[in-house]
């Protein structure tokens, strides 16, 4: 039987739609036997109850986190795997990053208000790891914003279009968020005994014109263990971009480990689902076994 794993899944502890237990149920439905919940700047999804529940469903969980970082003009996500979840420094830094997200929420909401958008700040402030995706969802689902959205976009924009047109650097509602660098995130993960992976390098290529040579320089500076090569990117125009073969070759040529992730947030009919089912990605079982042995070592 084919072994399916997914090492990059989000829950409603950050900007995903499903609870941690619902993610496990969905993994079971999709035939996925090993998962990692990699929420943004939080490991709140993890507790003894969740691990016990996963065991009853024959699902193996490898602890993970996705840390938001920035260097130069680009934002990068750094994945950490199989670290000590009780490491005091890691917990302290993740808490500081979540607090910075709330400062960001208030500042960006002011700019959105100036652009004519209504933002339910008090409700969003209840979300511990509030993200741009939460803010986007609040804006586009509020009937009070329909007129200004249609005026600005001609339609109700999807998440990528709104964020990349309104909230990212150089856009009218851009706000600089207090953060850490990829190098600092990598050191933090290693200090907690974890493995370090640069998330979805394909995304930086299309969003920030960050080319493979740039990626290699960054990975080497971070002393990262590898990259998330098995990944299907969806751009702001809803084009699916599968460069898995390129990034697998890139990793092999540069002696880097590779991981597999759907970056699942919700079932929207476009982005990959848990397990990357239906995507044109072929993974052999020996590769999965070697990856898991390394992650768990």
Tell me the sheet residues that pair with 68: 77
Token pair for 96: 């500081």
Query: Quick one: pLDDT band at residue 276, thresholds 50, 70, 90?
Result: very high
Question: Who has greater pLDDT, 74 or 191?
Answer: 191
Residue 23, domain member (yes or no): yes
Q: Which domain holds residue 13?
A: 4-85+181-295
Query: Do 191 and 89 touch, CB atoms closer than 8 A?
Result: yes
Query: Do 59 and 33 touch, CB atoms closer than 8 A?
Result: yes
How far is the C-alpha of 144 from the C-alpha of 199, rounded, in Å? 36
Mean pLDDT of 204-208: 92
Of 167, 190, 217, the residue that ends a domain is 167
Query: Do 208 and 237 touch, CB atoms closer than 8 A?
Result: no
Residue 56 CB coordination number (10 Å): 8
Query: Quick one: pLDDT band at residue 178, thresholds 50, 70, 90?
Result: confident
Are 15 and 157 found together in one domain?
Answer: no
What's the predicted TM-score (pTM) here?
0.88
Residues 252-267: tens digit of each pLDDT? 999 999 999 999 999 9
Number of structural domains, the chain? 2
CA-closest candidate to residue 73, choices 179, 219, 184, 232:
179
CATH number at residue 275: 3.20.20.140
Least confident among 24-33, 55-64, 166-175, 240-249: 166-175
Query: Do 35 and 27 touch, CB atoms closer than 8 A?
Result: yes
How far is the C-alpha of 165 from the C-alpha of 39, rounded, in Å? 24
Are 189 and 66 found together in one domain?
Answer: yes
Are 189 and 291 found together in one domain?
Answer: yes
Tell me the sheet residues that pair with 268: none
Residues 30-43: tens digit of each pLDDT? 999 999 999 999 99
């Amino acid at each position: 039987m084919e072994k399916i794993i997914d090492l990059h899944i989000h829950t409603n502890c950050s900007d995903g739609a499903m609870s941690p237990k619902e993610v496990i149920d969905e993994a079971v439905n999709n035939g996925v036997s090993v998962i990692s919940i990699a929420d943004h700047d939080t490991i709140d999804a993890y507790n003894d109850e969740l691990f016990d529940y996963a065991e009853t469903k024959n699902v193996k969980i490898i602890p993970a986190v996705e840390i938001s970082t920035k260097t130069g003009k680009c934002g990068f996500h750094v994945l950490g795997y199989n670290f000590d979840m009780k490491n005091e420094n890691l917990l302290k830094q993740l808490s500081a990053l979540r607090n910075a997200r709330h400062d960001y929420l208030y500042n960006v909401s002011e700019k959105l208000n100036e652009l004519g958008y209504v933002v339910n700040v008090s409700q969003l402030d209840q979300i511990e790891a509030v993200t741009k995706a939460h803010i986007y969802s609040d804006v586009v689902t509020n009937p009070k914003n329909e007129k200004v959205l249609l005026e600005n976009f001609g339609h109700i924009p999807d998440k990528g279009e709104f964020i990349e047109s309104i909230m990212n650097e150089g856009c009218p509602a851009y706000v600089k968020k207090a953060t850490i660098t990829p190098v600092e995130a990598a050191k933090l993960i290693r200090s907690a005994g974890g493995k370090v992976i640069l998330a979805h390098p394909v995304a930086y290529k299309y969003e920030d014109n960050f080319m493979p040579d740039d990626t290699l320089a960054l990975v080497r500076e971070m002393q990262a263990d590898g990259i998330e090569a098995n990944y299907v990117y969806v751009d702001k125009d809803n084009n699916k971009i599968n460069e898995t073969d390129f990034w697998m070759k890139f990793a092999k040529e540069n002696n880097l480990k590779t991981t597999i992730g759907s970056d699942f947030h919700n079932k929207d009919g476009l982005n990959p689902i848990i397990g990357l089912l239906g995507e044109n990605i072929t993974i052999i079982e020996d590769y999965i076994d070697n990856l898991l042995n390394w992650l768990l070592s």
